[in-house]
């Protein structure tokens, strides 16, 4: 079939297997161009099929020759309908990893569930024995608690008062004002239940209890801080409460892994266009201004550039691991540079529907959004008939 993008709001309902495969190849090429990283050799990535998790899997495999197990929640393509990008990404990743002689297997299902944890533990036991790095990179709007069966929904709301600011519809370029009502009822605790640290802790406990973590094993989860412009809806909003919880969980896990010499870290990453971030009001406008400034400064990075730097200049760099006063790794350092933030804040004031195409990188935003789904990728012929049914080799 010929697959074209079909969007509804901030989601794209279709995705393109060849474009996804090309994206994966581009990320692999990038990691290989940067040279070998003396990193972990057996790696579990939870949330491995898109965004930062996929970039982590690629960096481990193609930077450190690591065996990887990836867990994610994606839809395969059928003869009627294309699959989700994470499915196509993983199929392409595994094919390239296997061609390079690397172990790579994948598990598709709800990582919050006991069943998927069980399957993953069994696979590690059978094939790898133990893992030495666990990347936790889930981004999900819902979580069914594995013990109680309660289904929690996260919300993206400010806490304490209405938040009013500019936002952009990145499909039309229209800048408008948006008001978001504050969290009420169980909004905060529900969001913490979905995106906080409990599930990360459960994974690490389960791995430890079954002796599946090697000595000095490391685990890393991803967080975000961002500027004062987005603070009310992000870091001081419901999602920020969840990130506070995630960050606190790193200390609990480290304590729990003490006898192994294991360590849990949170890495604060840069704002990037992913399926998760497109859903957050105000963030797309911030990102389109940020991209403009960072590209002009020559310091723009995508997911793979971020993670390659996280591994090579933080996690596996010589000497003490660089962390901030709260023990977090900061790979958002370039985004948060004072000069970058001052420029973004100036542009923010000027941003209107008319000015944004010039002062912001709306085209870059939109292009990256479509790229997530395998569209508008350089070198791909979209007029060519493509088979939407693609298999992930380890799942056949
Ligand atoms: P993403 O949407 O690209 O990736 C999410 C991954 O989680 C996918 O592999 C998806 O299949 C998987 N997933 C979702 N629900 C699942 C479930 N129930 N079971 C198994 N797998 C599931 O998200 P992105 O942006 O890469 O986010 C990953 C982490 O990075 C999140 O914690 C996010 O807050 C954080 N982060 C994101 C930033 C951004 O600007 N995008 C900035 C800094 C941190």
How many CB atoms sit inside 10 A of residue 48's CB?
Answer: 33
Distance of alpha carbon 344 from alpha carbon 297, whole angstroms: 12
pLDDT of the residue at 135: 99
Distance of alpha carbon 188 from alpha carbon 245, whole angstroms: 11
pLDDT of the residue at 122: 98
- Going from the C-alpha of 113 to that of each of 134, 148, 199, the distances in angstroms are 17, 11, 9
Which of ligand 1's atoms lies nearest the C-alpha of 52? Answer: 26
- And the tokens for 61? 């495999």
pLDDT in tens, 25-77: 999 999 999 999 999 999 999 999 999 999 999 999 999 999 999 999 999 99
- If you average pLDDT over residues 391-396, what whole number do you get? 94
Distance of alpha carbon 239 from alpha carbon 122, whole angstroms: 32
- The residues, ordered by sequence, that sit 6+ positions from 19 with a Cβ below 8 Å of its Cβ are 371, 373, 374, 375, 376, 377, 380, 382
Band of residue 274 on the pLDDT scale cut at 50, 70, 90: confident
Across the chain, mean pLDDT equals 96
Q: Quote the ligand 1 centre to 161 CA distance (angstroms).
A: 27
Distance of alpha carbon 374 from alpha carbon 278, whole angstroms: 16
Widest distance between CA atoms in the chain: 59
Q: Quote the ligand 1 centre to 385 CA distance (angstroms).
A: 30
Substitution site in 20, 27, 51, 244 for ligand 1 pocket (most atoms within 8 Å of beta carbon): 51
Residue 275 in contact with ligand 1 by CB distance below 6 A:
yes
pLDDT in tens, 255-264: 999 999 999 9
Query: Which spans in 153-282 are helix H?
Result: 187-195, 198-209, 228-231, 238-256, 275-278
Substitution site in 15, 137, 275 for ligand 1 pocket (most atoms within 8 Å of beta carbon): 137
Q: Among residues 143, 131, 144, which one has the least CA distance to residue 45? A: 131
Distance of alpha carbon 31 from alpha carbon 8, whole angstroms: 33
Domains and CATH numbers, the chain: 7-151+186-280+302-333+384-395 (3.40.50.720)
Q: Quote the ligand 1 centre to 383 CA distance (angstroms).
A: 31
pLDDT at 276 over 80: no
pLDDT in tens, 212-270: 999 999 999 999 999 999 999 999 999 999 999 999 999 999 999 999 999 999 999 99
pLDDT at 275 over 80: no
- And the tokens for 140? 């999900």
pLDDT in tens, 195-210: 999 999 999 999 999 9
pLDDT of the residue at 281: 81
pLDDT in tens, 102-126: 999 999 999 999 999 999 999 999 9
- If you average pLDDT over residues 135-148, what whole number do you get? 97
Distance of alpha carbon 69 from alpha carbon 91, whole angstroms: 13
Q: Among residues 36, 349, 362, 45, which one has the least CA distance to residue 173? A: 362
pLDDT in tens, 153-203: 999 999 999 999 999 998 899 999 999 999 999 999 999 999 999 999 999
How many CB atoms sit inside 10 A of residue 123's CB?
Answer: 17
Distance of alpha carbon 345 from alpha carbon 12, whole angstroms: 30
Which of ligand 1's atoms lies nearest the C-alpha of 246? Answer: 32
Catalytic residues: 234
- And the tokens for 116? 């998927």
pLDDT at 396 over 90: no
pLDDT in tens, 77-105: 999 999 999 999 999 999 999 999 999 99
Contact 187, 155 (CB under 8 A): yes
* Strands, E assignment, the chain: 7-8, 11-12, 42-46, 67-72, 104-108, 131-136, 142-144, 151-153, 163-169, 174-180, 213-223, 263-268, 329-330
Q: Among residues 53, 30, 32, which one has the least CA distance to residue 43? A: 53
pLDDT at 341 over 80: yes
Q: What is the Cα Rg of the chain in Å?
A: 20
pLDDT of the residue at 108: 98
- In this structure, the strands spanning 7-8 and 11-12 are antiparallel
Distance of alpha carbon 226 from alpha carbon 234, whole angstroms: 8
Q: Quote the ligand 1 centre to 315 CA distance (angstroms).
A: 20
Give 203's Cβ-side CA count (13 Å radius): 32
75-79, 143-147, 271-275: the lowest-pLDDT one = 271-275
Residue 271 in contact with ligand 1 by CB distance below 6 A:
yes
Distance of alpha carbon 256 from alpha carbon 390, whole angstroms: 41
- What is the pTM assigned to this prediction? 0.98
Residue 199 in contact with ligand 1 by CB distance below 6 A:
no
Distance of alpha carbon 173 from alpha carbon 195, whole angstroms: 30
């Amino acid at each position: 079939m010929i697959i074209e993008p079909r969007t509804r709001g901030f989601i794209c309902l279709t995705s393109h297997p060849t474009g996804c495969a090309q994206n994966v190849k581009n990320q692999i090429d990038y990691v290989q161009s940067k040279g070998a990283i003396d990193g972990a050799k057996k790696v579990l990535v939870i949330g491995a099929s898109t965004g930062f998790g996929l970039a982590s899997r690629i960096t481990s495999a193609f930077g450190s020759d690591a065996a990887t197990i990836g867990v994610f929640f994606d839809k395969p393509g059928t003869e009627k309908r294309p699959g989700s990008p994470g499915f196509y990404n993983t199929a392409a990743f595994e094919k390239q990893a296997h061609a390079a002689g690397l172990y790579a297997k994948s598990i598709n299902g709800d990582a919050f569930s006991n069943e998927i944890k069980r399957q993953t533990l069994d696979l590690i036991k059978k094939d790898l024995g133990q893992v030495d790095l666990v990347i936790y990179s889930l981004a999900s709007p819902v979580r069914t608690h594995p013990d109680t069966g309660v289904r929690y929904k996260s919300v993206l709301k400010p806490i304490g008062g209405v938040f009013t600011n500019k936002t952009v519809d990145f499909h039309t370029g229209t800048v408008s004002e948006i008001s978001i009502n504050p969290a009420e009822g169980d909004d905060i605790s529900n969001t913490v239940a979905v995106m906080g640290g409990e599930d990360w802790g459960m994974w690490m406990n389960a791995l430890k209890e079954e002796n599946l973590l090697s000595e000095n094993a490391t685990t890393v989860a991803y967080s975000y801080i961002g500027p004062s412009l987005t603070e009310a809806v992000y870091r001081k909003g419901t999602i920020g409460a969840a990130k506070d919880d995630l960050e606190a969980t790193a200390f609990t896990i480290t304590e729990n892994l003490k006898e192994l010499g294991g360590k849990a870290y949170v890495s604060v990453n840069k704002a990037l266009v992913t399926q998760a971030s497109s859903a957050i009001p105000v963030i797309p406008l911030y990102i389109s201004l940020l991209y403009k400034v960072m590209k002009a400064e020559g310091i723009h990075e995508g997911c793979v550039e971020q993670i390659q730097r996280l591994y090579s200049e933080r996690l596996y760099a010589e000497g003490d691991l660089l962390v901030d006063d709260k023990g977090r790794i900061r790979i958002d350092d370039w985004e948060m540079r004072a000069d970058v933030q001052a420029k973004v804040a100036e542009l923010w004031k000027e941003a209107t529907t008319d000015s944004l195409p010039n002062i912001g990188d709306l085209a870059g935003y939109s292009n990256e959004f479509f790229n997530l789904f395998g569209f508008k990728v350089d070198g791909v012929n979209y007029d060519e008939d493509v088979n939407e049914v693609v298999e992930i080799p380890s799942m056949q």
